[in-house]
Structure 1
Amino acid sequence: MARYHIETYGCTSNRGESREIERRLRDAGHHRTDLAEADVAILNTCTVVEKTERNMLRRAEELEAEVADLIVTGCMALAQGEEFADIDAQVLHWEEVPTAVTNGECPTTTPDAEPILDGEIGILPIARGCMSNCSYCITKFATGRIDSPPVEANVEKARALVHAGASEIRVTGQDTGVYGWDEGERKLPELLDRICAIDGDFRVRLGMANPGGIHGIHEELVEVFADNEKLYNFIHLPVQSGSDDVLEEMRRQHRVGKFREIVETFDDRLDHWTLSTDFIVGFPTETDADHEQSMELLREVRPEKINVTRFSKRPGTDAADMKGLGGQTKKDRSKAMSELKMDVVGEAYGSMVGERHEVLVVEEGTGDSVKCRDGAYRQLIVQHAGEHGVEPGDFLTVEVTGAQSVYAFATPVSTPESDEDLAIAD
């Protein structure tokens, strides 16, 4: 788990994004601290005037000298990211920041692993702990081995969230794919099936599942996806490297072949689905050839969501004792993969323009906008939501009108009001 320091400059929108970053970091078990004690610093920037830009660059330089890892986000990072080229920092969209802070580690659920209702979103931790022993991960020291409550207990928690008003259930855990291993049987397909059978109009998103845990149940699992419209066709499958040699040094429980088998199975069975994956660049034993294998895997598989994390040492882990790569090497590899990532993801969202999709409005965005998710959990932004009478919890049909690198813009072609009028007319 990381200790983070965050600084926010600029408008209310920036402050709201920083609050969301912090919420996700806290949910993942990370802790805010003073700069002197931080593992990572997060600078949320503003770019209103030239003087502000100079101040942002100066502050980034100061933070770079104080911490091992610096992440720069916000308006200046997105509009003028090249200005930070001489600073040893990751320049990221704010939604990518929480994953980058984790250093490829599993998320850490709340100590009591109880569900939480956050607006329309119900957070359902289904278990605590994992079955892995990754050489770079400090989370295992806090959570231990997998501890899986009975399926029925988790179904009742999900039902309570739906009855409390959740329109989206997020199934979370350190590694959802190994749910039930401590009882001698992997029970994730059964759990998802039963959650989807709960009465109500809601959607279910499966949280991170390591390839080593999913492989062996992936054929059964994909049938659950195919059979349940409530389940987003989305899976977060962190491969971490395209090199089997690096995966061995990381002590990951899979190799690239298993990852490919899972992806191919989902490709064969589902018409539209989203693959989310993670890469760690600059692991101590990663060679140029290893890095190129990761780049080639990314080019071939072309996930719709990609998290790129620059390796950093966590105290007490075995990887912390390895001789690390130089900071410039990690920076160069991170930049190369991040550029490829933007091309791959941008292509995926660009291909949606002109299409119509059924979406769920999950939360408010910046200004008068809302964030929506289609059946494959791709993010679509509807602007001027108030004019359309659209708010979180609504289901509607939209047409995709434009795309950015990590999301698309859409306009409603049916709204909750129009659907209600049609029902009355019928």
Structure 2
Amino acid sequence: MARYYIETYGCTSNRGESQAIERRLRQGGHYPVENPSRADVAILNTCTVVEKTERNMLRRATELDEQTPADLVVTGCMALAQGEAFEDADVDAEILHWDDVPEYVRNGECPTATPGTEVVLDDVTGILPIARGCLSDCSYCITKQATGTIDSPPVAGNVEKARELLDAGAREIRITGQDTGVYGLENGERKLPELLTRICELAGDFRVRVGMANPKGVYGMHEELADVFAAHDELYNFLHAPVQSGSDDVLTDMRRRHRTPEFKEIVAAFDDRLDYWTLATDFIVGFPTETEADFQQSMDLLRDVEPEKINVTRFSKRPGTDAAELDGLGGTIKKERSSAMTDLKMDVVGRAHDAMVGEEHTVLLTQDGTEDSLVGYDEAHRQVAIPEAESMGLELGDFVDVEITGHNTVYALGEPIRTVAKTA
């Protein structure tokens, strides 16, 4: 049996991969330690979304290589797409696919089950990766080189995993994947609505958040999907659909599979069926072919649909991608456009939270805050902090009715009215 140490960076899907690795390690009798110096093997699950992240991964791999007396395993998106970068940086590590990590740690030993083989949770949140890979071929994305095309396990298997998470104490299930909207599409079937319905029919008090779904994957089932959200209180009324640009010309150059009219139809379908919901989306500013007019179309789209959660990213060239071969716009232009969109973002998001003040919402507490505060999410997965929550006897996993008393632009502040359900 081995002592392992694991660090995870990047998206929720990566966290789900790490949980799957840990589950298999614990089922084999291995156990975690909190310091790499005490580990027989250290595992670094990497991200490579932008150039700054790449530098951070190489730095952290170098540090772990020095701190770990035995083996270092590097996995995740950067390992799979740019594994040679670690060798170039003189990092002594085994570069492995996620699925191969547990077998490497086992080193040919037979699994030895121990009492600690329960499903791995992040406090009261269970992460459920429903599929791996995507159907897109975006010109700027290096992650596809790591994850490949979509591979969707059967609905029944994912439902059983959700049941296991709930049985292990999860109060929140986060459904993840590189693109949850294309779940099942490699077989010509749109299976996400069925999966969500069946998970929501499981016993217990819990909520489900659906992870990132590209607009093209959602479009075509957007009305059916919005109906599922409207029918099940277990689902957070939350959709993360990254549009990336308001210009169809730029979307073409990005090789995004959707266009802005499709994105707007998706938003309209959810607006029609849900009185209170959150649209999360992403914009890339400064793509090499983005003109000033293209950028203004993105700004206009942001003003038009008013997403409640917005991620703004400056374009950065990723090695091995087609967009990396294009002449860039220069740092000054990208910085100016990013600053302008971020200012608009803060106005839009601030207005959304300002409108919440005085309303009552039911919040599921999922994480610790500062001092004795706790943080959770309301019905639309908007973040709400409750000051002095622990002093009031509240715990992670509690459902609490709150009155929204204020906000800090990107999250709300709540005052408890009553506890709806206590954690088990």
CA contact (8 A) 1:116 1:124 kept: no
1:367 paired with 2:355, answer no
Q: Residues 66-90 of structure 1: CA distance to partner in whole angstroms, max 9, x if unpaired? A: xxxxxxxxxxxxxxxxxxxxxxxxx
Residue of structure 2 equivalent to 1:283: 287
Partner amino acid, structure 2, of 1:293:
Q
Residue of structure 1 equivalent to 2:46: 31
Residue of structure 1 equivalent to 2:385: 381
Shift of residue 26 of structure 1? 5.5
Which SS does the other structure have where 1:253 is aligned? coil
Change (3 A) 1:20 1:411: farther
CA separation in 2, counterparts of 1:26 and 1:183? 24
CA contact (8 A) 1:373 1:380 kept: yes
Q: Residues 82-127 of structure 1: CA distance to partner in whole angstroms, max 9, x if unpaired? A: xxxxxxxxxxxxxxxxxxxxxxxxxxx9548998521100000000
How many residue pairs match? The answer is 333
1:267 paired with 2:271, answer yes
CA contact (8 A) 2:208 2:235 kept: yes
Residue of structure 1 equivalent to 2:419: 415
Residue of structure 2 equivalent to 1:120: 124
What is the Cα-based RMSD across aligned positions, in Å? 2.6
Residue of structure 2 equivalent to 1:348: 352
Residue of structure 1 equivalent to 2:168: 164
CA separation in 1, counterparts of 2:363 and 2:264? 29
Which residue of the other structure, out of 200, 218, 234, is the alignment partner of 1:196?
200
CA contact (8 A) 1:388 1:415 kept: no
Change (3 A) 1:413 1:225: same
CA contact (8 A) 2:173 2:209 kept: yes
CA separation in 2, counterparts of 1:175 and 1:32? 16
Partner amino acid, structure 2, of 1:274:
T
CA contact (8 A) 2:237 2:379 kept: yes
CA contact (8 A) 1:113 1:128 kept: no
CA separation in 1, counterparts of 2:101 and 2:128? 8
Kindly report which structure 2 residues correspond to 1:88-99, keeping only aligned pairs within 5 A, or say none. none
CA contact (8 A) 2:13 2:129 kept: no
Partner amino acid, structure 1, of 2:172:
E
CA contact (8 A) 1:350 1:404 kept: no
Which residue of the other structure, out of 257, 277, 288, is the alignment partner of 1:253?
257
Change (3 A) 1:110 1:304: farther
Shift of residue 27 of structure 1? 3.0
Q: Residues 194-247 of structure 1: CA distance to partner in whole angstroms, max 9, x if unpaired? A: 000010110000000000000001111011001100000000000000000000
CA contact (8 A) 2:210 2:238 kept: yes
Q: Residues 38-75 of structure 1: CA distance to partner in whole angstroms, max 9, x if unpaired? A: 63559xxxxxxxxxxxxxxxxxxxx9xxxxxxxxxxxx
Structure 2 stretches of 5 or more lacking a match? Answer: 1-6, 18-44, 60-96, 103-118
Partner amino acid, structure 2, of 1:27:
R
CA separation in 2, counterparts of 1:142 and 1:239? 22
Kindly report which structure 2 residues correspond to 1:13-412, keeping only aligned pairs within 5 A, or say none. 27=15, 31=46, 39-40=54-55, 111=99, 116-412=120-416
Of 22-31 and 353-362, more deviation after overlay is shown by 22-31
Partner amino acid, structure 2, of 1:243:
S
CA contact (8 A) 1:138 1:317 kept: yes
Partner amino acid, structure 1, of 2:213:
A
CA contact (8 A) 1:364 1:391 kept: no
Shift of residue 365 of structure 1? 1.2
CA separation in 1, counterparts of 2:230 and 2:100? 32
CA contact (8 A) 2:134 2:179 kept: yes
Shift of residue 184 of structure 1? 1.7
Partner amino acid, structure 1, of 2:399:
F
CA separation in 2, counterparts of 1:37 and 1:202? 36
Change (3 A) 1:194 1:112: farther
CA separation in 2, counterparts of 1:32 and 1:189? 29
CA contact (8 A) 1:27 1:110 kept: no
User: Which runs of structure 1 show a deviation greater than 6 angstroms over 4 or more consecutive aligned residues?
Assistant: 19-23, 112-115
CA separation in 1, counterparts of 2:120 and 2:378? 23
CA separation in 2, counterparts of 1:176 and 1:153? 16
CA separation in 1, counterparts of 2:227 and 2:100? 31
Structure 1 stretches of 5 or more lacking a match? Answer: 1-18, 43-62, 64-108, 421-426
Change (3 A) 1:116 1:142: farther
Which SS does the other structure have where 2:121 is aligned? strand
Change (3 A) 1:376 1:37: closer
